[in-house]
Copies of this chain bind each other. A is one copy, B any other.
Amino acid sequence: MIRTILPLAALALFANPALAAEPVLAPGEIAAAAPKADWVAIASSDLLVMDLTPDAKGKARRVVIQLMPPPFSQGWIDNIRKLAAAQWWDGLSINRVQDNYVVQWGDAEGEDKTKAKALPVGLATVLEADYVTVVTKANADLLNKVTVSAIEGELPERAELQRRGGLHDPYSGLAGFVGGWPVGSDTSSFWPVHCYGMVGVGRDMPPNTGSGAELYTVIGHAPRHLDRNIALVGRVIEGIEHLSSLPRGTGALGFYETPEERTGIVSVRLGGEVAGLPAYEYLSTESTPFARYADARANRRDAFFIRPAGGADICNIPVPVRRVK
């Protein structure tokens, strides 16, 4: 950090002796050097593209969200696809910006049933049970070997966990990556977790689970206490700065107090409907370069660092995503 750009090939003080003759790469450099075969294409049909009104200088503001694959949250995601197809969010706004927590968008008048914008017909009501995925024979293959270690039986010791490459997690016992997504797991189920940039479904008091019309993204320290209490449906893969740098709301929970403070939504579309959208890909979380990247996030050996941490929490290992070159 602070002033110096990390050199591309610096020898670190605490490098693994076995690698001492090789250059020590920073995590981002490890990801960038991964072969093309280890990057997984993201289908444009799994993207949600939100265009905001231009900023004060007239600059365009586009936020690109990747929706989760099965088995996660598909009831809400089906609703979101319907809402986007109906162009439901067009003309609505960003209504809440709470520092170190979330940015939320949708219908600012939704609380008042006499003023609320009508939802498209056919949205499903999803059950709380769908906040988690129960481990079955049919889906166990979705768990990579890191996460599988949690379902073999009792929670392993810290040393054993580290040997296996798993992450000891204060919220769930074990955390790992499944098909490109960060998940928590216990002995019987797994679920996506609230890291920076993850997108979730606003809801009222339980047993309400939200329809998907009211969405938020995390713009602060991971609020992991929300895991298994709210549906997560995706993550921002580009343009989060257009949300995280918005003025904070001064009302309760960071809601804006006047309509003038809100940022307008021009349109929200599925990626397949957006002309000229770049293609994106993520680094396979089952790949060897990802394992090396995660290890380097937990044990910084590049030249700026004097003492590798020896561990990391799951939200400090963001899955690399990039535009396809």
- Chain A residues at the B interface, C-beta cutoff of 8 Å: 1-5, 13, 56, 96-97, 99-100, 102, 104, 110-111, 128, 131, 155, 158, 167-173, 195-197, 202-207, 210, 214, 216, 220-230, 240-241, 244-248, 252-253, 297-298, 300, 303-313, 315-316
Q: Are A312 and B170 in contact (CB under 8 A)?
A: yes
Q: Are A309 and B224 in contact (CB under 8 A)?
A: yes
Q: Are A2 and B229 in contact (CB under 8 A)?
A: no
Q: Are B4 and A205 in contact (CB under 8 A)?
A: yes
Distance A279 CA – B203 CA, assembled complex (angstroms) = 38
Q: Are A222 and B221 in contact (CB under 8 A)?
A: yes
Smallest distance from the beta carbon of A320 to chain B beta carbons, Å?
A: 14
With a cutoff of 8 Å between Cβ atoms, the chain B residues found around residue A245 in the complex are: 97, 99, 244-248
Distance A5 CA – B220 CA, assembled complex (angstroms) = 20
Distance A313 CA – B247 CA, assembled complex (angstroms) = 27
Specify which of B110, B131, B230, B298 is in contact with A1 (CB 8 Å cutoff).
Answer: B230
With a cutoff of 8 Å between Cβ atoms, the chain B residues found around residue A306 in the complex are: 128, 206-207, 228-229
Residue of B nearest to A230 (CB): B1
Specify which of B5, B196, B229, B313 is in contact with A305 (CB 8 Å cutoff).
Answer: B229
Smallest distance from the beta carbon of A119 to chain B beta carbons, Å?
A: 15
Specify which of B1, B229, B315 is in contact with A221 (CB 8 Å cutoff).
Answer: B315
With a cutoff of 8 Å between Cβ atoms, the chain B residues found around residue A168 in the complex are: 158, 168, 170
Smallest distance from the beta carbon of A260 to chain B beta carbons, Å?
A: 11
With a cutoff of 8 Å between Cβ atoms, the chain B residues found around residue A206 in the complex are: 13, 303-306
With a cutoff of 8 Å between Cβ atoms, the chain B residues found around residue A310 in the complex are: 171-172
Q: Are A100 and B197 in contact (CB under 8 A)?
A: yes
Smallest distance from the beta carbon of A153 to chain B beta carbons, Å?
A: 15
Q: Are A216 and B2 in contact (CB under 8 A)?
A: yes
Q: Are B247 and A3 in contact (CB under 8 A)?
A: no
8 further A-B pairs in the complex, CB-CB below 8 A; given A206-B305, A224-B313: A1-B202, A2-B210, A169-B311, A172-B311, A221-B221, A225-B300, A229-B304, A313-B313
Selected A-B contacts with CB under 8 Å, 21 pairs? A1-B216, A2-B96, A2-B203, A2-B204, A3-B202, A3-B214, A100-B240, A167-B170, A169-B311, A170-B311, A171-B310, A206-B306, A220-B221, A221-B315, A224-B309, A224-B312, A225-B297, A225-B312, A225-B316, A228-B307, A245-B248
Smallest distance from the beta carbon of A146 to chain B beta carbons, Å?
A: 14
Q: Are B241 and A221 in contact (CB under 8 A)?
A: no
Specify which of B99, B195, B226, B309 is in contact with A171 (CB 8 Å cutoff).
Answer: B309
With a cutoff of 8 Å between Cβ atoms, the chain B residues found around residue A244 in the complex are: 99-100, 244-245, 248
Which 10 A/B pairs are nearest by Cβ-Cβ distance? A2-B202, A170-B311, A241-B248, A196-B221, A171-B309, A228-B307, A99-B241, A206-B306, A225-B309, A100-B196
Distance A168 CA – B300 CA, assembled complex (angstroms) = 21
Residue among A173, A307, A310 having the largest count of chain B Cβ atoms under 10 Å: A307
